[in-house]
Chain A
Amino acid sequence: MTVVEETPGAPNPNGGVAPIPVRIGGVRGGPPLRKILRRDTWWLQPALTALGLLGFIGYSIWAALRNGDFYAGAYGRDYLSPLYSPCLTHSCTTAGYVWGGWSWWRISPAWLILAFPGAFRTTCYYYRKAYYRSFWFSPPACAVPDAGSTAEGNGLRKRYSGETRFPLILQNIHRYTWYFAVIFAGILTWDAIAAFRFPNGIGLGVGTIILVINAVFIWAYTLGCHACRHLCGGGLKQFSKHKSRYWLWKNVLTHLNEHHQLFAWCSLFSIIVSDLYIYLVASGTITDPRIF
């Protein structure tokens, strides 16, 4: 065994004072680490996650490239696809939406929208777990060797640096992407309210229900964010001195946070369902049934 001493030649790569003086290099027991002993279907969850995430990425690329049929105003419905909201660009005015005005933006407005919520979801603690397991294989499942395992040589990556180096150190911007996510959740709430607006007054269509459900899921996901939980109360040392923040942290945000994974997927599906439904209505493929 080797005992790592504190020496000038062995600096801590994290920038700390010195390595922790632990013994490394001891002989490990059990079968070789690369031999997977798990008997269950450990590969199923990362496979389904990869399928789900690739499905969403594929759909959103198709929806962004479509650059049309995202607003159902021509059919008497004030439904705007969440992938195109806020609609500010040239194609929005072409589609009959009132907010459009950026004539210099000629490509699909969806790219503008995807960038901000996309950054929020990419740096989200839940999605990080999901894609580190499904795409990075770091590790694909618990007690299954990661793709860069160097414990017994032959690792694909020489040294594992986690989120300490570029580009993964950028995961620390998550709270800033959350600020933008709150703005987008507000805009989608406005869209859901606007969906009650019919040519002859207030009404309710199937599309209205879909957009309201979408807004609820988006808020549940956004407020359940770990950064939000920290900023609103988790970062405090003494809850007893901040009673309202403690109440919010304990009774709202912690409960939402416990179901963050569920709301992450629900909101992802609700975005797809909303966009697809509005596309079908806006393209004249189906007629939106009005309930009252």
Chain B
Amino acid sequence: MASTTEQAAATTNEAAQSAAPRRSVTLRLWRGDADGGGLVDYEVPALEGEVVLDVVHRIQATSAPDLAVRWNCKAGKCGSCSAEINGKPRLMCMTRMSTLPQDEPITVSPMRTFPVIRDLVTDVSYNFTVAAAIPAFSPGPREADGTYRMAQVDIDRSQEFRKCIECFLCQNVCHVIRDHEDNKQYYAGPRFLARLAELEMHPLDNLDRRRYISEQMGIGLCNITKCCTEVCPESIHITDNAIIPLKERVVDARYDPVAWLGRKLLGRKPPKSATAVAAVAPLWRDRGAEHAGAGSKEA
């Protein structure tokens, strides 16, 4: 039984909804599964201030109770409600209805880079398999007092990438895998290139992944058209601050004869090959199989 406070809150909410201006909109949702599907129109009222996810929920609550949609926080922080709204990869919970043209149907389709499970829900397990293939953080020995120390200026840079909510919109929009399915085997994608940048820039990390990033994670496949940056709901500068710095680090390791000569003259060790990194770091060889067969977030 609901408490008095909850009842009062519900009454207030209903009153606010009834007071808000209503208008009718048409949402064109993709309905289907791996066996096929198509776009279905739903005419539904929308209130002022609502986001696309609100309207999708209204459809689910009224005319299509079997509609599958993945969501969780409704605050742009869980990264669950990724979809393509009028063809643009976006979070449904962060897209206001008022920003979309109201005089024509609004199309909402699932992310088109990943296999569909049902309706707006996709199987994003590809991303978890790639995540498992990344050589983990490998710090050097601890200091004499048994601790690690690092200066704030040394970690400011990589903290930008920690904002990632793993909505996988950047992976979805990247044409390297969106338009070329076979490249999924050879390419980490923007989200994981940002993760690799975070590790490479970490002041305590001791593993040189530069050749691995080139040979195994396929950074050369990225042609820096910046779509990942355009769609990122956390406004992470994926291309400028992660991918391009990584490309330059790969140039240091693989394509810079001056750096090669410097290493020879100064007797410094060359970057480890992908095979050497794979031999010393925990990779999918050890733990990837379970991810390769793992399911995705619950619908």
- By a beta-carbon cutoff of 8 Å, the part of chain A in contact with chain B is 1, 3-4, 10, 12-17, 19-31, 33, 36-40, 125, 128-129, 132-133, 136, 138-139, 142-143, 145-146, 148-151, 155, 159-164, 168-169, 172-175, 226-227, 229-231, 234-235, 237-240, 246, 257-258
Contact = CB atoms under 8 A, between A and B. Distances in A.
Nearest to B237: A258
A26 B157 CA distance: 36
Instruction: Pick the 5 closest A-B CB pairs, nearest first.
Output: A26-B115, A29-B116, A37-B87, A16-B216, A38-B87
Interface residues of B, number: 91
Interface of B: 30, 32-35, 37-39, 84, 86-89, 101, 104, 107, 109-116, 119-120, 122-123, 125-126, 129-130, 133, 151, 153-154, 157, 173, 175-176, 178-186, 188, 200-203, 205, 212, 214-218, 220-227, 230-231, 240, 244-245, 247-252, 254-256, 274-275, 278, 284, 288-289, 292-293
B184 A24 contact: yes
Nearest to B185: A19
A21 B129 contact: yes
Contacts of A12: 185-186, 215-216
Contact of A175 (B119, B122, B212, B251): B251
Nearest to A243: B153
Nearest to B128: A22
Given A17-B278, A23-B125, A133-B225, A239 B154 contact: yes
A41 B278 CA distance: 45
Interface centre among A4, A40, A235 (most CB of B within 10 A): A235
B180 A163 contact: no
B223 A132 contact: yes
Contacts of A37: 84, 86-87, 107, 109
Contact of B178 (A27, A33, A173): A33
7 contacts: A14-B218, A24-B182, A28-B112, A29-B112, A37-B107, A143-B87, A239-B151
B112 A33 contact: yes
A20 B109 contact: no
B146 to A, nearest CB: 21
A16 B115 CA distance: 26
Interface centre among B34, B205, B247, B249 (most CB of A within 10 A): B247
A175 B123 contact: no
Given A21-B289, A129-B226, A143-B87, 5 more contacts: A16-B212, A19-B185, A23-B115, A143-B227, A159-B180
A159 B182 contact: yes
Contacts of A231: 248
Contacts of A239: 151, 153-154, 157
A164 B220 contact: yes
